[in-house]
Amino acid sequence: MSTTPQKARQEKPSYQTALIVLSIVIIAVVFLLLYLPGFGENVDLGFDLKILPMMNAIFNGTAFVFLVAAYGAIRKKRIQTHKRLMLCAVAASTLFLISYVIYHSLAPSTPYGGEGVLRYVYYFFLITHIVLAVAVVPLALFTLFSGLHMEVPKHRRIARWALPVWLYVSVTGIIVYLLIRPYY
């Protein structure tokens, strides 16, 4: 007995609801940890927290390199290489997120001290970086899982949006770090 296309679609494991919930949880946890009053007070990790912003920039740069390499691999139809590089990009972004949350929950906020046009440039990049970083969480997760499930048309549709947003977030993370670095 053959399965109809509609029935086959219903039998596929649905990860969409789980990814929506996971995206909301990740974003909510990040915001709670960043804005929970007194959360990180009196916590000593045994090292200078000021190294973490540099690590964040390195993780962002690493994710950027993996994303570009993964795009090149898929253009050459090297699916396994693309998959491995994308998993590396996800790992680098995950390390960034962990480091970012640790730093911003334990260290005092660093105000930007620049003036003039550079101040506007900094805040433009910072605001667009933050807004798009929130958007990239579900985009990256949906792209990743549709790719892992070999739902190629869906994966391509989402990746057309996810890749440029993720690249922008990675690059602007580095730019924001370089602009605020003198004020740490």
Q: pLDDT tens digit string along 90-113?
A: 999 999 999 998 888 888 888 999
Question: What is the assigned CATH class of domain 52-183?
Answer: mainly alpha
Burial class (CB within 10 angstroms; exposed 0-12, middle 13-18, buried 19+) of 27: middle
Q: Cα–Cα distance between 58 and 54 in angstroms, integer? A: 6
- Let me know: does 165 contact 118? Beta carbons within 8 Å: no
- Domain ranges within the chain, ordered by starting residue: 52-183
Q: Cα–Cα distance between 124 and 118 in angstroms, integer? A: 10
Residue length, the chain?
184
Distance spanning both ends of the chain, measured CA to CA: 68
Q: pLDDT tens digit string along 22-72?
A: 899 988 888 887 777 656 666 777 788 889 999 999 999 999 999 999 999
Residue with tokens 């795009």: 71
pTM metric for this prediction: 0.85
Report phi then psi at 111, rounded to 5: -75, 150
Residue 180 to residues 14, 28, 122, 125, 149, Cα–Cα distance (Å): 42, 25, 8, 11, 40
Coil/strand/helix, residue 111: coil
